[in-house]
Amino acid sequence: MIIDVHYHMIGSRDWWSDTLWNYLGLMIGRLMERFGKQVSPQMVQEEILPGYLDPDGSRLIRHMEAHGVDVAVICVVDNGIGFGDGKVPIEEQNRIVAEMARQYPGRVIPFAGIDPRRSGAPQLFEKCVEQWGVRGLKFHPDAGYYPNGKEAYALLEIAEKNGLTLLTHTGPLPPPSRGKFAHPIHLDDLGVDFPTLKVIAAHMGDYWWRDWAAISHFRPNLFGDLAEWQFPAFQKYEKFCRDLREAIDTAGIEKVVFGSDSPVFEPATPMRDWLKILQELPQNSPPEAKFTQAEVEAMLGGNAQRILGL
C-alpha cells in the first residue's frame, strides 16, 4: 500500500494571491535549474503552474492511478496572512476540498488549512470537522506564527478532542517565509501538551532533520514525512541513504511516512522516480546504510495506515 500524506489541492488560481504564485514560480524555476532543466520565468507561469490547478479532484485521481497511490491526504494552504489572501475565501477552499474528498471515499482524506491567527479560526475549524468531515489540520508556521503558540493551541485542542492529525510544515524556505517559526523544536511542546494528538512534521524538519529525529525519539506522537527528501535522493543518493538511515535509527522506523508535496515538485522531481528510489532502497542502498523491504513498506504506507486509523 502507498499512502501520500502530503498533497496540495489548489482549485483555481484565485485560491492564492499573486504574491504567493510569484513566490512559488521563482522557487520552482530555481529548483528545475538545480536539476538541469532550463526554464524561463514565463514558461513557469504559463506552462507549469497551470498544471497544479485541479477544480474537481480528477487530476489528483489520475495522478494517484498513474503512480499506484492508494490513499492521499489533500491539504489546503492558508498562507494568506503572510502572503496575502486569494480571491476565494479560505472557508470556501476548505469546504471545496472536503467535498472533493467525499467524491472519492476511501481514496482521499481532507485536511483543513487554517492560519490560527485568523479571526474566528477555532469556529471555522470546528465547522470543517463537524459539518464537512475533515480528518486533520495543516499548519504553515513559516507564514509567521509558532505551532506551539496560544492561537495554535486553540485549534490543536479541537484536533486532539476529535482524534485528528496535525501536519505542520518544518524547515527553512526562501523569503518572505520565516524559517524560525517552522523549526521542529517548537513541536516538542506539542508532545507534552497534546500527548494523544498525532503530529506529522512535514519534511522531517528538512535541513533540521537531526533536531526532528532527536525530539521524535522522545515523543511517541511525533512523526515526519519524506516530502522534499526527493531532492537529495535525486542528486546525492548515497548521502540521502545515510541521512535517512540515521534519522530512522534515531527516531524509529515507525515514525517515518511517505509524502510527495505534489503537485508542486512534480516538474523537477517526478513522482514515479521518487517512488522508484524508495522502493529500490533494499537493493540499491550503500552497504553502510541498508534498508529492509519491511522498512520500505512501513514508510510507504504501513505507518500512515496506522497513524490515520485506516
140 contacts 174 by C-beta, under 8 angstroms: no
**CA 110 – CA 123 distance, rounded (Å):** 18
Classified as helix, coil or strand, 87 is coil
**CA 123 – CA 136 distance, rounded (Å):** 15
Provide the edge-to-edge strand list for the sheet that holds 71-75.
3-8, 71-75, 108-113, 136-139, 165-169, 198-202, 222-225, 256-257
Domain count, the chain: 1
Report the sign of the C-alpha dihedral through residues 5, 7, 11, 14, in that order: positive
**CA 304 – CA 2 distance, rounded (Å):** 9
- In this predicted structure, what is the pLDDT of residue 38? 87
- In this predicted structure, what is the pLDDT of residue 218? 98
Which residue range(s) make up the domain with 29?
A: 3-307
Helix axes 237-251 and 209-218, enclosed angle (nearest 10): 20
**CA 204 – CA 222 distance, rounded (Å):** 10
How many angstroms from the chain centroid is the CA of residue 247? 18
Instruction: Report which residue type is found at 213.
Output: A
Residue 279 buriedness (CB in 10 A; 0-12 / 13-18 / 19+) = middle
**CA 220 – CA 271 distance, rounded (Å):** 29
- Which residues, given as ranges, of the chain have pLDDT below 70? none
**CA 251 – CA 156 distance, rounded (Å):** 23
- In this predicted structure, what is the pLDDT of residue 192? 97
87 contacts 43 by C-beta, under 8 angstroms: no
Q: Give strand ranges (E) for the chain.
A: 3-8, 71-75, 108-113, 136-139, 165-169, 198-202, 222-225, 256-257
Within 8 A by CB and 6+ apart from 297, the residues are: 1
Q: Could you read off the pLDDT of 61-98 as tens digits, one per residue?
A: 999 999 999 999 999 999 999 999 999 999 999 999 99
Q: What is the DSSP letter of 64?
A: H
Q: What is the CATH number of the domain that holds 50?
A: 3.20.20.140
**CA 219 – CA 66 distance, rounded (Å):** 36
- In this predicted structure, what is the pLDDT of residue 301? 99
**CA 153 – CA 195 distance, rounded (Å):** 13
HSE-CB for 274 with a 13 A CA cutoff: 26
Q: Could you read off the pLDDT of 145-177 as tens digits, one per residue?
A: 999 999 999 999 999 999 999 999 999 998 889
**CA 114 – CA 92 distance, rounded (Å):** 12
Classified as helix, coil or strand, 283 is helix
70 contacts 2 by C-beta, under 8 angstroms: yes
**CA 188 – CA 98 distance, rounded (Å):** 30
Which residue in this structure is represented by grid cell 509558532?
A: 146
What cell numbers appear for 16 in the block? 492564492
Q: What is the DSSP letter of 301?
A: I
